[in-house]
Amino acid sequence: MSANHKDDDEPDLFRKSVGKIRPVKQDKIHPHRKGRKPVPGQTLRDRQEVMQSLLSDDYEPAEDVETGDELLYSRPGLQHSVIRKLRRGQYAIEAELDLHGATSIQAREAVNAFLKKARDQEKRVVRIIHGKGNTSIGKMPVLKGKVNSWLRQKGEVLAFCSARPNDGGTGAVYVLLKRI
């Protein structure tokens, strides 16, 4: 018996051993109930964080801010000695953001991103340079008032005040952030 003859008999042998067959109409089994779609937990948390981090331009502090006005804000319960040290510039500045030349929209996004990054890096005291508005129309500071408003809305900001003259004076603020 040759090797070719043996190969020709194998399909016949297989058919004889299997017997009569009929094709299966469907080989998929559906579950008796539909599974729930997965909940995109991280996406939902990210969206919620974005909504919470949005700063409103509609929020207005009690008064308008002039070029030479000093800014000062602290959350209730913060010790006076902490505020005094912040005003005197006695804390080390751990990060800085310069908003010179930025539009209000750019500045708002930059402040949001800057504060988030500072918190993520566990920074406690940062400086934001908003400028004095000397190049603005009417010589009125636009970003100074916006930064004043935005920082008051941020839960992670414990206090802020105008910087000392050698750190930008009324054109910059020191910001004290909560510990994580």
pLDDT above 90: percentage of residues in the chain: 44
pLDDT tier at 161, thresholds 50, 70, 90: very high
- Averaged pLDDT of the chain: 83
Q: What is the average pLDDT across 39-45?
A: 79
Collapsed DSSP state (helix, strand, coil) of residue 97: strand
- Whether residue 177 has pLDDT greater than 80: yes
Lowest mean pLDDT across 1-5, 25-29, 152-156: 1-5
Q: What is the pLDDT of residue 88?
A: 95
Mean pLDDT score, 8-12: 80
The vertex-52 CA angle with 50 and 55, nearest 5°, equals: 90
Counts for the chain of helices (H) and strands (E), in that order: 5, 5
**What are the domain boundaries of the chain?**
69-177
Coil/strand/helix, residue 46: helix
Domain covering 69-177 in this structure, CATH number: 3.30.1370.110
Inform me whether the pLDDT recorded for 1 exceeds 70: no
pLDDT digits (tens, 9 = 90+) for 61-91: 545 555 567 899 999 999 999 999 999 999 9
Dihedral sign of CA atoms 153, 125, 166, 86 in order? positive
Tokens of 6: 């043996």
**95 SS3 class:** strand
Q: What is the pTM of this model?
A: 0.64
Question: In the sheet where 125-129 sits, what is the strand order?
Answer: 72-74, 157-162, 172-177, 125-129, 95-98
